[in-house]
Amino acid sequence: VHSSESRSAVGDSSKSAYARERKVVPGGSMRAASWFQPNPPYAARGEGCWVIDIDGRRLLDCANNFFSLIHGHAYAPVLDAVRGAMTKGTAFGMPTESEILLAEALAARNPRMEQTRFCNSGTEAVLAAIKGARGLTGRHRIAKFEGCYHGAYDWVEVSLDPTPANWDDENGNPASVRCNAGTPDTVLRDVVVLPYDDPQRCADILRREGTSLAAVIVDPHASRAGTVPMSRETASVIQEACRRDGIILIADEVISFRLSYEGASPLFGLEPDLITTAKIIGGGLPIGAVSGRANLMAVFDHSAGKPKVSMGGTFSANPLSMAAGLTSLEHYSRPVVDRLNSLGDLLRTRIGKGFADAGVAATVTGMGSLFRVHVGPGKVTGYRSAFPTSEAGNLIRRIQLAMLDENVLLTPNCSGALSSPMTEVEVSAIADKLVRVVRRELG
C-alpha cells in the first residue's frame, strides 16, 4: 500500500474544516490547500520551525509560508517589534520613521539597494519594477526565463509552466506560452522567453531582440525552474546584453535574497539595475520592495509632482511590516546567514549520499538554505531537465504526501527552505526521513 493511500497525517478537524471551506471559497482555501490533496491540514499555530495543526499534530515546517519565514513562526523579537508598532496605530497616510529604517537596512546590506520603495507583495514589486524599466527606457517589451515564477502578473506568467508539447516555437526557441486563459496575444508577443541553462541561445535571442526590450528579469537561483543556480556564463550573457542595448536588468530576489547577506546577485557576478525583494524582508508580514541606485529610482520620485512612473498603495510601507522586516533582517546577520547556509550544505550532502547509497534514481538540488528533490536519472540544470515525466511527477507527489505522514511539510515539488530555529537535529531528521521515503517509493 502506498503511503498516499494510507494517509494518516490529516485529522478529522482539518477534514471537516476543508469540507466547510469549500462551500464558501472556490477550491477550498487560497492557502496551500492544493498542495496536500485530498485534504490539507489546517494550521492552528506556529512555534519556531514547527506548525501545530488544528488536530494537534506537530509538523516540521520546511515550507515556511512559501519560504518567507526565515526565523520560523512566532519569533519572539519579531512579535515584540510588531506589538510595539501596533500599539501606536496600524497604518497612516503619512510617512513613518519605520520606513526609513528598513530602507537604510537594505542599503547597508547592498550598495545597489541605495534607495527602496515598498509595497505589499513580491508580485507588486515585480510589476512596479517592470513599469519603472518602461519609464526609464521608453520601451515596453520584456524578457524572462522559461519556467521562472515572478508572481501573479500576466506579463511574467508567460511561459511559467510550458510542457514539451508547446515549449518550442517554429524556430526551436522557447515559445511564449499562455499560462492563464484569456491572456491577450499582445502580451505573449511582447514577452521574449529565454532558456535558463543555454547561454549561447540566450545570447542569440538577446542579440536579435535586445534593442526592443525595457527589461530582462532574472532570478539567478530560480525555484520553479529547477531550484538550481544559473550558470555564471548565462548570468554574464544577460549582463552584457543589458549593458550593450540599454536594457534594465531586474534581479528578482524575492526568494533568493536569503542566499547571502547582500542578496543573490553578487554570488553570480550580476550587477542589476533594479532589485525586487519580498518574503523574508517582511519578517512574516506582507511586503514587497523595489530597490536600486538613486539615479534610476528617480523614475518613481513623486516629490515634485507627477512622477514618471507611479508606485503607491494604501498599505505600502505600513509600520507593522516595516517593524517586522527590520527586526527580521537585523537577526539575519552574517553569522546567521552562514550558519543556515552550512546547514543547507549538510542537508544536501546527507540526502545526496543517502540516495547514492540506496542506488535510487533521485537527486537533490539547491543552494544556501534551499533544497529540492528530483526523481529521475538525469542531471538537473534548468526548467527542461527538471520537468518531470508523468511517472516522476506522480512519484514526487507521493513523496511529498509521505513526508507529510512523517510530519514534515514540503512544497508539492518536494522543495523546502530551512529557517534559523533549525539545528543539525532537524536537518538530520529531514534527511533521514526523505531518504527512507524516497527509497520506499522508488524501490
Non-local CB neighbours of 4 within 8 Å, separated by 6+ positions: 397, 398, 401, 402
Residue 228 CA to residue 386 CA, distance in Å, equals 9
Q: Is 280 in the site for ligand PLP (CB under 6 A)?
A: no
Which residue's CB comes closest to ligand PLP? Answer: 122
Tell me which residue has cell 542595448. 245
Tell me which residue has cell 511574467. 156
Q: Please, which of residues 94-133 interact with ligand PLP by CB under 6 A? A: 121-123, 126
Q: How far is the CB of 199 from ligand PLP (least distance, A)?
A: 21
Q: Which one of 48, 72, 151, 162 is in contact with ligand PLP (CB under 6 A)?
A: 151
Which residue, 190 or 219, is less far from ligand PLP as judged by CB? 219
Query: Per CB under 6 A, which region of 71-79, 247-255, 264-272, 433-441 contacts ligand PLP?
Result: 247-255
Q: How far is the CB of 123 from ligand PLP (least distance, A)?
A: 3
Query: Per CB under 6 A, which region of 23-31, 82-90, 147-155, 418-426 contacts ligand PLP?
Result: 147-155
Q: Which one of 144, 150, 178, 398 is in contact with ligand PLP (CB under 6 A)?
A: 150
Q: How many residues does the chain have?
A: 443
Q: How far is the CB of 428 from ligand PLP (least distance, A)?
A: 28
Query: Per CB under 6 A, which region of 94-102, 251-259, 360-368, 414-422 contacts ligand PLP?
Result: 251-259
Q: Is 66 in the site for ligand PLP (CB under 6 A)?
A: yes
- Cβ atoms of 439 and 360 closer than 8 Å: yes
Q: Is 219 in the site for ligand PLP (CB under 6 A)?
A: yes
- Cβ atoms of 103 and 116 closer than 8 Å: yes
Q: How far is the CB of 221 from ligand PLP (least distance, A)?
A: 9
Which residue, 341 or 411, is less far from ligand PLP as judged by CB? 411
Q: How far is the CB of 149 from ligand PLP (least distance, A)?
A: 5
Q: What is the DSSP string of 200-265?
A: HHHHHHHHHHGGGEEEEEE-TEETTTTSEEPPHHHHHHHHHHHHHHTPEEEEE-TTGGGGSTT-SG
Dihedral angle of Cα 221, 72, 39, 150, to the nearest 10 degrees = -30
Q: Is 255 in the site for ligand PLP (CB under 6 A)?
A: yes
Q: Which three cell numbers stand for residue 289?
A: 520592495
Q: Please, which of residues 335-394 interact with ligand PLP by CB under 6 A? A: none
Would you call 191 helix, strand, or coil by DSSP? strand
Non-local CB neighbours of 237 within 8 Å, separated by 6+ positions: 199, 202, 203, 206
- Is the backbone of residue 166 left (phi > 0), alpha (psi -120 to 50) or beta? alpha
Tell me the number of residues near ligand PLP by CB under 6 A: 15
Q: How many CA atoms lie within 13 A of 93 on its CB side?
A: 1
Which residue, 370 or 435, is less far from ligand PLP as judged by CB? 370
Q: Which one of 251, 254, 320, 417 is in contact with ligand PLP (CB under 6 A)?
A: 254
Q: What is the DSSP string of 113-145?
A: GSEEEEESSHHHHHHHHHHHHHHHHS--EEEEE
Q: Please, which of residues 286-345 interact with ligand PLP by CB under 6 A? A: 288
Q: Is 223 in the site for ligand PLP (CB under 6 A)?
A: yes
Q: How far is the CB of 325 from ligand PLP (least distance, A)?
A: 13
Please give the residue ranges that form the binding site for ligand PLP (CB under 6 A). 66, 121-123, 126, 149-151, 219, 223, 252, 254-255, 278, 288
